[in-house]
């Protein structure tokens, strides 16, 4: 895949609160086909997941809307009841929300 950016500045993906969408991004949002992803009826999400899976060398992909949601999915997939997951306090994978803690199949320790 060719990098079409003229400048090679890093892209800040740390938080959506630190960046603003470009006009091109806003145009894409306005033109996007909409559907209810809860019922697997969003064609834009389906295309994104289908496009992303081979880029990650995986057979499937799933869109998660936040880093916290991604962490919860990862811990749920890899943890089993009775397991304990040790989390580095310097890292961002910290289930802090009570709902996240209740949802986990495994115990976390920071």
Interval 76-100: pLDDT, tens = 787 777 777 777 777 666 555 555 5
β partners of residue 108: 85
Instruction: Identify any residues that bridge with 86 across adjacent strands, giving them in sequence order.
Output: 109
97 alpha-carbon distance from chain centroid: 17
Could you tell me if residue 5 is left (phi over 0), alpha (psi between -120 and 50 degrees) or otherwise beta?
beta
Is the pTM higher than 0.75? The answer reads: no
SS3 assignment for the chain? CCCCCCCCCCCCCCCCCCCCCCHHHHHHHHHCCCCCHHHCCCHHHHHHHHHHHHHCCCCCCCCCCCHHHHHHHHHHHHCCCCCEEECCCCCCCCCCCHHHHHHCCCEEEC
Q: What is the rounded end-to-end Cα distance, in angstroms, of the chain?
A: 39
pLDDT tens digit sequence for 5-63: 556 777 776 776 777 888 999 999 999 999 998 888 999 999 999 999 999 999 999 99
């Amino acid at each position: 895949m060719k990098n079409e950016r003229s400048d090679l500045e890093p892209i800040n993906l740390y938080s959506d609160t630190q960046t603003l969408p470009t006009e091109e991004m806003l145009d894409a949002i306005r033109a996007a086909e909409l559907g209810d992803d809860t019922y697997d009826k969003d064609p834009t999400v389906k295309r994104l997941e289908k496009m992303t899976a081979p880029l990650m060398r995986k057979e499937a992909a799933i869109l998660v809307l936040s880093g916290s949601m991604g962490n919860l999915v990862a811990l749920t997939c890899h943890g089993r009841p009775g397991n304990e997951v040790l989390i580095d306090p310097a890292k961002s994978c910290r289930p802090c929300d009570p709902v996240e803690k209740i949802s986990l199949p495994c115990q976390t320790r920071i």
